[in-house]
């Protein structure tokens, strides 16, 4: 009996840590209490603060337009993908895609092939940003990206350091930014 109580108590701990639907205090709101998505971006040291949870838009309507009335026959769980997983240029007309002609020719040649990144672990950036939710933590000297898909955190140093001259192999590489 004691084992069951301990097991249930242990299983319940992660559930309390999820904070689903918790209204963030720093989110600007309209007069009726809804989040104001047109408010100016928050700032840190005079620059936009990217901190927060980010998720690409998922719409079944977009998939059905392209893939037919039942896209679940092709992809089991449409909650795990976005239209940009299928095509980064989904919303852009082919003639307006920001590609040089030689890049467009390579893309056309490889259409229908299994993408090389599908056999890579971890997926990394930018691939994982189009699939699941991720969180950005912005601090004065670095930005950290936490992926929901289990990939390692990505650290982008903004403290002025240079890239390593002889970097050691690393899953997520080395990143610096300004």
Buried b (16+ CB within 10 A) or exposed e, 55-91: eeebeeebbeeebeeebeeeeeebeebbbbbbeeeee
Model confidence at 126, pLDDT cuts 50, 70, 90, reads: low
Residue pLDDT, tens place only, 99-115:
888 988 988 888 878 77
Q: State the pTM of this model.
A: 0.64
**How high is the pLDDT of residue 125?**
67
Residue pLDDT, tens place only, 127-176:
667 667 889 999 999 999 988 777 888 899 999 999 999 888 877 788 89
Phi, then psi, of 66 in degrees rounded to 5: -95, -40
Distances (CA, A) of 49 to 2, 43, 88: 48, 5, 25
The whole-angstrom separation of Cα 68 and Cα 112 is: 18
* Preceding amide of 122 cis, omega within 30: yes
Is the pLDDT reported for residue 77 higher than 70? no
Phi, then psi, of 175 in degrees rounded to 5: -130, 135
Residue pLDDT, tens place only, 9-58:
666 555 555 566 676 777 888 999 888 889 998 888 888 898 988 877 76
The whole-angstrom separation of Cα 176 and Cα 49 is: 17
**How high is the pLDDT of residue 7?**
59
């Amino acid at each position: 009996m004691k084992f069951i109580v301990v097991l249930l108590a242990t299983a319940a701990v992660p559930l309390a840590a999820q904070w689903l639907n918790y209204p963030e205090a720093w989110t600007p709101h309209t007069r009726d209490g809804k989040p104001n998505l047109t408010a100016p971006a928050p700032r840190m040291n005079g620059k936009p603060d990217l901190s927060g949870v980010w998720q690409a838009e998922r719409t079944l309507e977009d998939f059905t337009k392209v893939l037919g009335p039942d896209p679940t026959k092709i992809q089991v769980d449409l909650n795990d993908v976005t239209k940009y997983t299928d095509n980064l240029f989904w919303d852009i007309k082919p003639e307006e895609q920001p590609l040089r002609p030689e890049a467009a020719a390579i893309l056309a040649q490889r259409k229908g092939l299994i993408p090389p990144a599908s056999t890579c672990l971890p997926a990394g950036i930018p691939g994982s940003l189009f699939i699941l939710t991720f969180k950005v933590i912005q601090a004065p000297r670095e930005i950290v990206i936490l992926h929901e898909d289990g990939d390692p955190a990505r650290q982008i140093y903004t403290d002025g350091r240079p890239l390593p001259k002889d970097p050691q192999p690393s899953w997520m590489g080395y990143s610096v930014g300004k």
